[in-house]
Structure 1
Amino acid sequence: MNRRHFMAAASSLALATHADEPARKWRVVVLGNKGSYGHSLDTMWLKVPGTEIVAAADPDATKREATLKELNITQGFADYHEIAKAKPDLVAIGPAMGLHRDMVLVAAASGALGIYLEKPFCRTLAEADEIIAACEKHGVKLALAHRNRWHPTLPVVKRLVQEGVIGRLLELRGRGKEDKRGGMEDLWVLGSHVLNLGVFLTGKPMACSAEIMQDGKPVRPADVIRTKVDFGPIAGNEVHARFDLESGVPFYFDSIKEAGDPKVGFGLQLIGTKGIIDIRVDQTPLAHLCVGSPFQPMKEARTWVPISAAGVGEAEPVADIGRQVMSHATGALDLIACIEDKNRQPLCSGADGRLTVEMITAVMASHVRQGERVSFPLDTQENPLASW
């Protein structure tokens, strides 16, 4: 993150805690499906200063009425294609990613200036390119709700790695929650967070090699489930992937169904010759530092020191930092700041989302090609399991 982007994130946090609301009211329309708005992408705007929710769309009449009551608004749409009538400035899209492409195309053409989109981004690179093209055509800024990406501790972690606090960076190791969704579903839903953070911290992927398993055996075409609309073709309850990054550091991601405590494994470790930085997604503190070679046994217990936005072992300078980040306030305010500053994109943009989709697609492509090392950019725009 460059200094301007860091200051934007810090400013977003400051704005989120400021008592005075700006005179400008940003009109927000929220899109749901059968009462689903992702991780509170409907109610989040009640906590974002300078915004007002003016309408909601949901095809389920009962759920729609409940949402209107909860948000204290009266305008609702059964068909999200009609949202232009509400004259939105911002559109929040909460349903699962099977609807993302279609909903974003409508939101981009609605007259809105910004879109806040639930993660994962979308199902294929072809969909990603359609989304990005539509936003560019209509001059719309899109922010993807990988909310940890706006955490002000992240640039601190990146600086610590660059300064050699953990010595030479040897590898990254990421895991999903590894609950009942372990495997490819975990990679899509939770692993997308981890991939996004890893790339920000250490660089873009150049190649991938991977294996997908089902009950301990390599996935075959007969194992592919082709009826899950939200994911597209999907298979496997175990994933093992390696990404070779442009920085020269390997990035490993693994997920095994019900492998352990989902509250412990979900995160990313940066392993160096002189220590480890551990990032726990959605937790406060976000990161900890453990100094000392990870390969040398020690008689003394190792200490994990919290990393705050001020540095290692420093008191957290941002009040209520966990709530601010987890409530999406930082992401929403950064999106608004980007609309006002036409020269930059949100800290987690459509381009960032596309790269994550490409990494997940690469895992499937490598497996289909019997573990072959596949290079970026990929030579396919579709889900490799679809035509297997």
Structure 2
Amino acid sequence: MDIHEEAAKRVSDEYDVPAIYTDVDEMLAKEDLDIVSITTWQGPRGEATVAAAKAGVKGIFGEKPMAASLGQADAMIAACEENDVKLIIGHQGRYAPANIETRRLVAAGAIGEPTTVHHSAKKHAGLLNTGTHAIDGWRFMLSDPETLWVIGQTARTTDRWERRTICEDLCMGLVCFEGGRTRYYEGDLPEPSVSMPNIAGTEGQIRNGPDGTLLLQNGDAKGWQTITPPPQTKNQYDEFIEWIEGDIPDHRGSGVQARYTLEIMMAIYESLRIKNIVHMPMETKELPLELMVNDGTLPVLEEGRYDLRAPFEGQTRKS
């Protein structure tokens, strides 16, 4: 299914698909589907997910970020729970060998009690775009701890968008998890920056090394140890099938886990809106960044609307 009929026909011809649709409701009404993959932009993803869940599919695979607001995410989860549908979101970092090995090492006490994580996201991408991978990756590597509070700062003076969702120019966030562990995220801040996650603990630290390796420093050896993570034989699709068929109790990339990640991102924006720490659970269900743009808190000072990944017609600016 694609709203652009020519694109749908092109894929249909290539993979010998017997039917094409440009309307999701028509497709759900006419086809007996087991799994639906929703690869829309974050804005319309919630509506499509709810429709698929009500149609009675067995599983829904949504792309990241889960949604453009907590309200949308909650509606997605509720519809899936009410209709006994399994919902996962494509945070594939939870299946990366380096992240899995980092999670194992941290849980085994290789760096003592983890205290801080620092990560800078890819430039000119936006919090909801690549920040979701970074923040979800932290959570996974630390065994998905409970978030206690978030404080953040956001700037937006240009008319920046990301796949038709209002986007910040730059932001940073300090996240406190249970046990007092803190995580620092920065997106599009001026140099210098740390490009990859660095996890520090009371007895050592772990960071990414070259060619998919890890670098570990602790009291067991002098200097940095190079660790080659073992290959992983299971991906998010294999695990999805196992979950749908009842072979496992949960999926590591479930919609519930993705909502926790989305809540942290929303809280970074919300912290500026309320000018304070955001204690979890967060109450605001709308996109706080959009609220601030609409009420004049973040006025556009440099005219010229531009989208980082889906350029507007006539757009000349790229970042």
**Which of 131, 153, 161 is matched with 1:211 structurally?**
153
When structure 1 is superposed on structure 2, of 269-278 and 119-128 the one drifting more is: 269-278
Contact 1:141 1:345 in 2 (8 A): no
Contact 1:108 1:135 in 2 (8 A): yes
Tell me the alpha carbon deviations over residues 108-148 of structure 1, each in whole angstroms, 9 at most, x when there is no partner.
Answer: 12231001111110011110110001101111101111112
Contact 1:289 1:307 in 2 (8 A): no
Partner of 2:187: 255
Contact 1:335 1:346 in 2 (8 A): yes
Deviation, 1:380, is 1.0
Q: Percent identity?
A: 24
Deviation, 1:260, is 7.7
Distance of 2:211 and 2:62 partners within structure 1:
24
Contact 1:205 1:245 in 2 (8 A): yes
Distance 1:304 1:68, change over 3 A: farther
TM-score, with structure 2 as normaliser: 0.81
SS in 2 for 1:335: helix
Contact 1:226 1:386 in 2 (8 A): no
**Which of 125, 134, 140 is matched with 1:200 structurally?**
140
Pair 1:306-2:227 in alignment: yes
Distance of 1:209 and 1:381 partners within structure 2:
17
Contact 2:88 2:253 in 1 (8 A): yes
Contact 2:110 2:218 in 1 (8 A): no
Runs of 5+ consecutive residues of structure 2 not aligned to the other structure: 293-319
When structure 1 is superposed on structure 2, of 376-385 and 167-176 the one drifting more is: 167-176
**Aligned ranges 1:90-105 → 2 under 5 Å:** 90-105=35-50
Pair 1:275-2:219 in alignment: no
- Counterpart residue identity of residue 148, structure 2: M
Distance 1:95 1:350, change over 3 A: same
Contact 1:279 1:288 in 2 (8 A): yes
Tell me the alpha carbon deviations over residues 139-163 of structure 1, each in whole angstroms, 9 at most, x when there is no partner.
Answer: 1101111112133554432232133
SS in 1 for 2:288: coil
Partner of 2:108: 163
Distance of 1:94 and 1:284 partners within structure 2:
29
TM-score, with structure 1 as normaliser: 0.67
Deviation, 1:228, is 6.2
Distance 1:208 1:63, change over 3 A: same
Distance of 2:17 and 2:60 partners within structure 1:
20
Which stretches of structure 1, 4 residues or more, deviate above 4 A after TM superposition? Answer: 224-229, 257-261
Distance of 2:97 and 2:49 partners within structure 1:
28
Tell me the alpha carbon deviations over residues 302-336 of structure 1, each in whole angstroms, 9 at most, x when there is no partner.
Answer: 54513413xxxxxx4x4xx6xx7xxxxx1111111
Tell me the alpha carbon deviations over residues 10-54 of structure 1, each in whole angstroms, 9 at most, x when there is no partner.
Answer: xxxxxxxxxxxxxxxxxxxxxxxxxxxxxxxxxxxxxxxxxxxxx
RMSD over aligned CA atoms reads 2.7
Deviation, 1:62, is 1.1
Partner of 2:85: 140
